[in-house]
Amino acid sequence: DIQMDIRDVRKVYGGDADNSVVALDGVTLRIRRGEFISLLGPSGCGKSTLLNILAGFQPVSSGQILQNGRTITKPDPSRTVVFQDYALFGWMTVQQNVEFGLKAKGMPRKQRAELARSLINMVRLNGFEEKYPHQISGGMKQRAAIARALAPDPDILLMDEPFGALDAQTRVLMQEEIARISSAAGKTVVFVTHGIDEAVFLADRVVVMSPRPGRVRQEVHVPLPRP
Ligand code: ADP
Ligand code: ADP
């Protein structure tokens, strides 16, 4: 059951040949429904570019990406993203940030508030609901961003180094939580990291990318059962 079919995707930044950068050079990858994939590779190998394209934020230069057989052309609530730099709305409280995607879906106010609160508890931000992003730490912002991405119950969760700002202890807790949620809810996760431990701990399959230009170098199926 293929959920995302990435076919020979090429991405070139910059129009003219002199200073153009080939970020992805023919990436082909098929992602099954419910699969947890880690994208592993050194800085600059095109991981963020691929994630942004999967999100629909950027067009491919050539090739194609299908979700359930349909070409991805723009962002969609069925795919949410947790960015490395959080990208929380600065003018909204933690609670409002988490509720954002639910409001867009038209969920009634009370239900929205309840769901947001349970997600805020899950990421251990209870007590910080009314804070604005500038009032909380980097790790807390990261956790708020994770709660916001989970709120609309997406089919596909795209995560770009989502635990980078966390201390070691919180990171392990969040890793376990993400592993639990993704397997319990059958979510498809594409998880970008340059941490090999993290990649292997979380994933069903580790996709190793090689730099310059970005290509899939190796795919490793992780045989261990997930927690
Ligand atoms: P990674 O996430 O693996 O670090 P990126 O996808 O960020 O890799 O970058 C892949 C390549 O594309 C790098 O050479 C980077 O400098 C280049 N790149 C990324 N974004 C842009 C951009 N907006 N314009 C030009 N080059 C870019
Ligand atoms: P994290 O690894 O989550 O970023 P920090 O080391 O930044 O954690 O902070 C540890 C704890 O200190 C937080 O979980 C929180 O309880 C508290 N804390 C950090 N920053 C703030 C803040 N700006 N306001 C209130 N409490 C904070």
Over the stretch 156-174, which tens digit does the pLDDT of each residue have?
999 999 888 788 888 888 8
Could you give the strand order of the β-sheet that contains 156-160, starting from the edge strand earlier in sequence?
79-82, 156-160, 188-193, 36-40, 205-210, 215-221
Atom of ligand 2 nearest to the CA of 124: 14
**What pLDDT, on the 0 to 100 scale, is given for residue 116?**
96
Q: What token pair was written down for 29?
A: 């990858």
Residue nearest to atom 21 of ligand 1 (CA): 13
What's the CA gap between 13 and 171, in Å, rounded? Answer: 33
Q: How confident is the model at residue 227 (pLDDT cuts 50, 70, 90)?
A: low
Segment 92-136, tens digit of pLDDT = 999 999 999 898 888 999 999 999 999 999 888 999 999 999 999
Among 146, 158, 137, 11, which residue's Cα sits nearest to residue 76? 158
Q: Model pTM?
A: 0.85
Q: How confident is the model at residue 19 (pLDDT cuts 50, 70, 90)?
A: confident
Instruction: Check pLDDT > 80 for residue 212.
Output: no
Omega before 162 cis (within 30°)?
no
- List beta partners, residue 80: 157
Q: How large is the C-alpha radius of gyration of the chain?
A: 17
Residue nearest to atom 27 of ligand 1 (CA): 13
- List beta partners, residue 215: 210
What's the CA gap between 170 and 160, in Å, rounded? Answer: 17
What is the average pLDDT across 136-153?
91
Pocket mutation for ligand 1, best pick of 13, 27, 52, 58 (most atoms within 8 Å of C-beta): 13
Among the bound ligands, the one closest to the CA of 86: 2
Q: How confident is the model at residue 182 (pLDDT cuts 50, 70, 90)?
A: confident
**Distance of CA 128 from the midpoint of ligand 2 (Å):** 10
Q: How confident is the model at residue 46 (pLDDT cuts 50, 70, 90)?
A: very high
**Distance of CA 55 from the midpoint of ligand 1 (Å):** 16
Instruction: Check pLDDT > 80 for residue 192.
Output: yes
Segment 59-77, tens digit of pLDDT = 999 999 999 999 999 999 8
Burial annotation 33-60 (CB, 10 A radius, 16+ → b, else e): ebbbbbbbbeeebbbbbbbbbbbbebeb
**Distance of CA 136 from the midpoint of ligand 2 (Å):** 7
Here the ipTM equals 0.68
